[in-house]
């Protein structure tokens, strides 16, 4: 069976595609799309990092048989404007009309001439710094918030006692994984946790994200 998170980007059959940074991102998107009944009319490609995501985006735009629509989901990381400026710099040779700031509900930029329509979502919410796990944390069900807060306390205590070796940029991921380790079944990855209702796909931020996908690829 072919990997749904890996596409042949050289294929002329690809008309609508969503580029994501990693495999985890891909499965989170697929789970949210299934829960929110997003049309299965686009493909998803795991680019294995932001550098390759931007490289693939440029390659898709410049080729003769470019897709009709290209969406890109990236982590804001430590600075949303740094990432936003990085995207614009990568595409500076084209005549796309970028807004000064990312649009709160997801940016959509119309194509021109033979160039595709583009969409951008900067995790978690197009405003704050962070990563895809920050979006997932927003999906923790209300009646499990106390459990998540205790998971945060445990991660902080383990960190203070020097019992961990994860990188600082993975702090929120450690909190999310600790929470999921305490749910049934322990250790579900975020995408599977959404499908199992351990994370709430009906949360406001999840709906904003899937509404952006519907508008972009509809």
Per residue in 157-173, is it b (16+ CB within 10 Å) or e — as a string? eeeeeeeeeeeeeebbb
Confidence label for 214 from pLDDT (cuts 50, 70 and 90): very high
Burial readout 16-31 (b: 16 or more C-beta within 10 A, e: otherwise) = bbbbbbbebbbbbbbb
- Contact call for residues 182 and 209 (beta carbons, < 8 A): no
pLDDT in tens, 118-139: 999 999 999 999 999 999 999 9
Cβ atoms < 10 Å from Cβ of 1: 3
Structure tokens at 33: 């799309």
Task: Find, among 80, 66, 24, 72, the residue nearest to 52 by Cα.
Answer: 72
Residue 191 and residue 158: Cα distance in Å, rounded?
26
Residue with tokens 């199992």: 196
The full set of domains in the chain, from first to last, is 16-130+204-217 (3.40.50), 140-195 (no CATH)
**CA angle, 100 as apex, 216 and 137 as ends, to 5°?**
60
Average pLDDT on 28-47 reads 98
Q: Between β-strands 16-20 and 117-123, what pairing exists: parallel, antiparallel or unpaired?
A: unpaired
Strands 69-75 and 107-109 turn out to be unpaired
Under the banding of pLDDT at 50, 70 and 90, the label for residue 68 is: very high
95: its two tokens: 């005549």
Instruction: Give pLDDT tens digits for 80-94.
Output: 999 999 999 999 999
pLDDT at 150 over 70: yes
pTM: 0.96
Pure H helices in 46-120: 50-62, 80-90
pLDDT for the residue numbered 1: 55
Contacts (Cβ under 8 Å, ≥6 apart) of 27: 5, 189, 190, 191, 192
User: How far is it, in rounded angstroms, from Cα 31 to Cα 200?
Assistant: 11
In whole angstroms, what is the distance from residue 197 CA to residue 139 CA?
A: 10
């Amino acid at each position: 069976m072919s990997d749904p998170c890996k596409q042949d980007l050289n294929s002329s059959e690809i008309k609508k595609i969503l580029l994501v940074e990693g495999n985890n991102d891909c499965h989170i998107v697929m789970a949210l799309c299934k829960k929110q009944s997003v049309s299965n009319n686009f493909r998803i490609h795991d680019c294995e990092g932001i550098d390759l995501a931007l490289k693939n985006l440029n390659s898709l735009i410049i080729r003769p048989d470019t897709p009709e629509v290209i969406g890109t989901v990236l982590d804001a990381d430590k600075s949303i404007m740094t990432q936003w400026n990085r995207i614009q710099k990568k595409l500076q040779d084209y005549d796309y009309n970028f807004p000064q700031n990312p649009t709160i509900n997801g940016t959509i930029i119309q194509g021109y001439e033979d160039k595709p329509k583009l969409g951008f979502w900067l995790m978690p919410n197009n405003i704050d710094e962070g990563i895809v796990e920050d979006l997932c944390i927003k999906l923790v069900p209300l009646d499990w918030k106390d459990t998540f807060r205790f998971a945060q306390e445990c991660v902080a205590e383990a960190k203070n006692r020097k019992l961990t070796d994860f990188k600082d940029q993975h702090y929120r991921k450690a909190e999310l994984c600790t929470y999921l380790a305490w749910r049934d079944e322990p250790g579900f990855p975020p995408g599977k946790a959404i499908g199992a209702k351990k994370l709430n796909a009906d949360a406001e931020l999840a709906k904003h994200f899937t509404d952006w996908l519907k508008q972009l690829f509809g």
